[in-house]
């Protein structure tokens, strides 16, 4: 008998035991529980590597599309390699990997608060749309929180769009402070270059 036939017969036997158990008011057989657990996919969260950058940039573009601003992405894979994995890394990166594919990222860096000292800034947390709702975002978020504890940072800050209810609800689960009082300021390089700076 082939391995496939053996597996098929075992699956049939498990199903028969399960249905028999349902009608006799017994609990679900342990073998069913084991099969279900083995079938579940679990993402592995790890630190990002240079060879992850193409998949990371794909997720960045997916986020920009979701936020209705795909034209705003001017970053490139070459820039990300230089800025994240060069001589003076400007950011850190956690990735969530599922079956060899990057399905989520959390990009972070250190900011300095004159009131609090060193804090972690979570620039972006992105999970591939097809993989949302499986706890991958929580794994990435909590990896950043653990980094705060390990490095003894004063805390972690981030931004979230006020219309992004799924994200707002996600952060509310952590009982975090969502402060709508601050107004964000920004000047891009092409704007600065037009100024008469002396």
Angle at 5 between CA 11 and CA 27, to 5 degrees: 10
Q: Going edge to edge, which strands form the sheet with 156-158? A: 44-47, 92-98, 101-113, 117-127, 156-158
Residue 32 and residue 104 in one domain = no
Residue 34 and residue 50 in one domain = no
Active site residues: 171
Domain count, the chain: 2
Residue 81 and residue 13 in one domain = no
Give 110-134 pLDDT, tens digit per residue: 999 999 999 999 999 999 999 999 9
Asked whether 59 and 102 are in contact (CB, 8 A), the reply is yes
Q: How many CB atoms lie within 10 A of CB 145?
A: 15
Residue 23 and residue 107 in one domain = no
d(CA 153, CA 151) in angstroms, rounded, equals: 6
- Decide if 64 is inside a domain: yes
% of residues, the chain, pLDDT over 70: 79
pLDDT at position 41: 61
- Decide if 49 is inside a domain: yes
- Decide if 198 is inside a domain: no
- Decide if 162 is inside a domain: yes
CA dihedral 186→74→50→44, nearest 10 degrees, is: 70
**Confidence bin at 22 (pLDDT 50/70/90):** very low
Q: Taking Cα atoms as reference points, which of 96, 138, 95, 94 lies closest to residue 120?
A: 94
Q: Which domain holds residue 148?
A: 44-192
pLDDT at position 182: 87
User: How much is the average pLDDT of 45-74?
Assistant: 96
Give 131-162 pLDDT, tens digit per residue: 999 999 999 999 999 999 999 999 999 999 89
- Decide if 144 is inside a domain: yes
Q: Give the mean pLDDT of the chain.
A: 85
Whether residue 14 is predicted with pLDDT greater than 70 in this model: the reply is no
């Amino acid at each position: 008998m082939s391995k496939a036939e053996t597996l098929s017969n075992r699956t049939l036997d498990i199903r028969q035991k399960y249905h028999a158990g349902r009608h006799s008011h017994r609990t679900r057989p342990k073998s069913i529980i084991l099969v279900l657990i083995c079938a579940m996919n679990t993402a592995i969260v790890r630190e990002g590597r240079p060879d992850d950058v193409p998949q990371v940039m794909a997720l960045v573009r997916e986020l920009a599309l979701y936020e209705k601003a795909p034209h705003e992405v001017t970053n490139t894979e070459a820039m990300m390699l230089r800025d994240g994995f060069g001589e003076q890394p400007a950011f850190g990166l956690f990735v969530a990997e599922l079956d060899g594919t990057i399905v989520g990222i959390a990009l972070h860096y250190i900011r300095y608060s004159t009131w609090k000292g060193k804090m972690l800034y979570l620039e972006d947390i992105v999970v591939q749309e097809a993989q949302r709702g499986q706890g991958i975002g929580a794994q990435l978020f909590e990896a950043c929180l653990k980094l705060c504890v390990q490095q003894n940072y004063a805390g972690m800050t981030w931004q979230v769009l006020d219309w992004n209810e799924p994200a707002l609800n996600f952060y509310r689960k952590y009982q975090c402070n969502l402060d709508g009082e601050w107004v964000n300021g920004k000047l891009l390089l092409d704007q600065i270059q037009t100024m008469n700076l002396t």
